[in-house]
């Protein structure tokens, strides 16, 4: 069976349409004969029998010549009809009157003589009729040729509408395989299913490209961040025993730094997207964050809230992931922000804004732009390391946004925005 199954879409479409049309033609043939030709043949047989009886009852005289002729019952004019319509008419005639017969005589000019006998003892009545041609082999061949032509044309149009966008999509596949993003592709169009396939492939390609970037970031970032402490550890291993023991505390610091670096990169990959979403009260949440900032990061922290009394503000979030964002900001404030921080909360109609501001020297405009873009530069700096990528990933997970700007009177201001679909005021 497989050897007869075409490989091309055009061949398969043409074959399926051909089989469908053949089945349709067979059904039409049966229905046409059952509900059109057969009833017409029955009515025609009734008409002939009634005409014969009427003429005999009226006393029509025997006439060997003319347009209406009689032959004796013993005569055998013509032959049994072989055309479908007349053959069925002869059968219905015998059913209505036993002994009745229908014969077709030789053609004379443009007429065919039809002979009918209403009973075994009745004479034959002959009359000329126009030829009954319901289409012969030529008509059948022409009809099948037209059907085949229309089928081929229709199949070509259908396959063309489907294959053109698929061909364009296949032409772009090598680019996607080489790592290019398909964002610059022109609209491919085509049927709705092809458009859905295009969007699905584009989304998958973007995800693969994103995974490729994350893999590159993970490998290059880890190698870059671990090279320096590993070099210091390797150097310490070659020191004399006395100097080696003196470097023990520094080696512990290097090990802790490497462990923290690996933890950050693993967090970036996971991004806590499996954590359950919970509803928290913003005021209680900020009190916990302030306690963490004081106890673990030694920050002098204060909070300013614009939350009306008696109307607490609630936030839907992943608490552990969001806590990592605050911890990263607290760590940067401890290192670069002068050890002080101010938290401001402003609930609005469209979003909830949480702003954290330190009192350090701020960052340069170029460095600030890189932080807002989530770029991981080669050099280390204020808030521009892997922690920025982690924070932006977590905020994207919350359908929020993360922004950085220098405060007017000094320091760095971090803005966290949560839209109304993840935050609400109760």
Task: Categorize the per-residue pLDDT at 53 as very low, low, confident or very high, splitting at 50, 70 and 90.
Answer: confident
Of 75, 101, 134, which residue constitutes the final position of a domain? 134
Determine, yes or no, domain membership for 251.
no
* Residue 305 falls inside a structural domain: yes
pLDDT digits (tens, 9 = 90+) for 346-402: 888 788 899 999 998 888 888 888 888 876 554 444 334 677 877 888 888 888 999
Whether 293 shows a pLDDT value over 60: the answer reads yes
State the total domains in the chain. 2
Listed residues 113, 134, 155: the one ending a domain:
134
- Select from 134, 166, 184 the last residue of a domain: 134
pLDDT category, 268, cuts 50, 70, 90?
Answer: low
Whether 290 has a pLDDT exceeding 90, the answer reads yes
What is the tens place of the pLDDT at every residue in 208-238? 777 777 677 667 666 666 766 777 777 777 7
Query: Kind and range of the H or E element at 106?
Result: strand 101-108
Q: Is residue 258 part of a domain?
A: no
Tell me the average pLDDT across 131-158: 71
What is the distance between the terminal CA atoms of the chain, rounded to a whole angstrom? Answer: 68
DSSP state of 398: T
Residue 222 in any domain: the answer is no
Has residue 248 been placed in a domain? no
In a domain, 261, yes or no: no
Q: What is the CATH number of the domain that holds 285?
A: 3.30.565.10
Higher pLDDT: 117 or 208? It is: 117
The domain in which residue 280 lies consists of 274-425
Q: Is residue 268 part of a domain?
A: no
The pTM (predicted TM-score) of the whole model is 0.48
326 lies in some domain:
yes
Q: Return the higher-pLDDT residue of 339 and 74.
A: 339
Query: How many distinct helices (H) and strands (E) make up the chain?
Result: 11, 12
The 10s digit of each residue's pLDDT in 392-416 is 888 888 889 999 999 988 899 999 9
Q: How far apart are CA 252 and CA 232, in angstroms?
A: 11
Pairwise CA distance, residues 189 & 196, whole Å: 10
Q: Is the pLDDT of residue 298 over 50?
A: yes
Q: What is the DSSP string of 269-333?
A: HHTTTTSPPEEEEHHHHHHHHHHHHHHHH--EEEEEE-PPTT--EEEEE-HHHHHHHHHHHHHHH
pLDDT for the residue 397: 83
């Amino acid at each position: 069976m497989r050897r007869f199954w075409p490989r091309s879409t055009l061949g398969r479409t043409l074959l399926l349409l051909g089989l469908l049309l053949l089945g349709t033609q067979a059904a039409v043939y049966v229905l046409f004969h059952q509900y059109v030709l057969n009833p017409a043949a029955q009515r025609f047989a009734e008409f002939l029998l009634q005409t014969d009886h009427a003429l005999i009852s009226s006393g029509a005289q025997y006439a060997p010549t003319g347009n209406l002729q009689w032959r004796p019952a013993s005569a055998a004019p013509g032959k049994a009809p072989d055309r479908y319509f007349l053959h069925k008419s002869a059968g219905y005639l015998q059913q209505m009157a036993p002994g009745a017969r229908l014969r077709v005589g030789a053609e004379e000019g443009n007429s065919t003589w039809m002979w009918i006998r209403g009973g075994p003892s009745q004479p034959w009545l002959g009359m000329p009729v126009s030829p009954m041609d319901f289409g012969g082999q030529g008509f059948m061949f022409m009809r099948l040729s037209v059907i085949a032509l229309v089928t081929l044309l229709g199949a070509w149009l259908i396959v063309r509408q489907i294959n053109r966008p698929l061909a364009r999509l296949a032409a772009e596949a090598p680019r996607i395989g080489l790592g290019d993003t398909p964002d610059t592709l022109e609209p491919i169009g085509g049927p709705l299913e092809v458009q859905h396939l295009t969007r699905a492939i584009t989304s998958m390609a973007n995800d693969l490209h994103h995974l490729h970037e994350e893999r590159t970031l993970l490998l290059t970032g880890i190698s870059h961040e671990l090279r320096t402490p590993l070099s210091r550890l390797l150097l310490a291993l070659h020191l004399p025993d006395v100097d080696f023991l003196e470097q023990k505390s520094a080696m512990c610091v290097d090990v802790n730094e490497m462990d923290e670096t690996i933890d950050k990169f693993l967090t970036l990959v996971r991004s806590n997207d499996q954590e359950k979403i919970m509803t928290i009260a913003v005021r209680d949440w900020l009190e916990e964050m302030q306690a963490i900032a004081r106890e673990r990061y030694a920050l002098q922290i204060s909070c300013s809230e614009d939350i009306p009394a008696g109307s607490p503000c609630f936030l839907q979030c992943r608490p552990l992931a969001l806590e990592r964002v605050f911890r990263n900001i607290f760590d940067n404030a401890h290192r670069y922000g002068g050890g002080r921080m101010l938290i401001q909360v402003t609930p609005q109609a469209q979003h909830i804004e949480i702003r954290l501001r330190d009192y350090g020297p701020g960052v340069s405009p170029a460095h600030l732009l890189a932080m807002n873009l989530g770029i991981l530069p080669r050099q280390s700096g204020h808030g521009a390391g892997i922690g920025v990528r982690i924070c932006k990933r977590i905020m994207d997970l919350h359908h929020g946004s993360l922004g950085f700007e220098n405060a007017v009177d000094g320091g760095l201001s971090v803005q966290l925005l949560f839209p109304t679909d993840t935050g609400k005021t109760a």
